[in-house]
Amino acid sequence: MILSTRKLRYRTFLLVTYSMGLRLSEALALQVSDIDAERKQVHIRRGKGHKDRFVPLPDLTYHALQSLWRKHRNPCWLFPSAIGSMETVAKATTHMDRGGAQSAMKAVVTECGIKKKCRFIPFDTVMPLICWNRV
């Protein structure tokens, strides 16, 4: 699914979101200063319940973030607002639009043919029922 994404910023965004288990708002709010390359950790600020936490940073994700940052070189945001030229993106003061990220996700899911609805039968997923023997 991630490889099917055409634009580098959305491909990297999806990789970051899924590989680190982040919520949409947590991934959008990532800043350059949140990355600790030496410890291979990312500082997630104001997550669920307004709590901070650290999550592991996979090597693949780190390299993808490096290549994205080399393109836009925004001193603050990892996913800056992408309106205008590359010079404008490099000076962006806000992060990428939430709606744009959601639209990109939906487009990739549709293109890959992933169906969101699935039939869930609880008895198929639970351990087999124990036989009750009456003596």
Burial track 50-75 (b if 16+ CB lie within 10 A, e otherwise)? eeeeeeebeeebeebbeebbeebebe
Beta strands per DSSP E along 5-95 = 35-36, 41-44, 53-56
What does the pLDDT read at residue 116? 67
3-state secondary structure of 80: strand
What does the pLDDT profile of the chain (135 residues) look like in tens digits? Answer: 565 566 778 888 888 998 999 998 899 999 999 999 999 999 999 878 888 999 999 999 999 999 989 988 888 888 888 776 777 777 777 788 888 888 877 877 777 777 766 565 555 544 554 444 554
Structure token digits, residue 115: 């169906």
What does the pLDDT read at residue 48? 81
What does the pLDDT read at residue 1? 57
What does the pLDDT read at residue 2? 60
Residue written as tokens 């993808």? 64
For helices 98-112 and 8-20, give the axis angle rounded to 10 degrees: 90
What values do phi and psi take at 113, rounded to 5?
A: 80, 25
The CATH superfamily label for domain 2-125 reads Intergrase catalytic core (1.10.443.10)
The CA radius of gyration of the chain, in Å to the nearest whole number, is 20
3-state secondary structure of 87: helix
pTM (predicted TM-score): 0.73
Q: Where in the chain are the domains?
A: 2-125
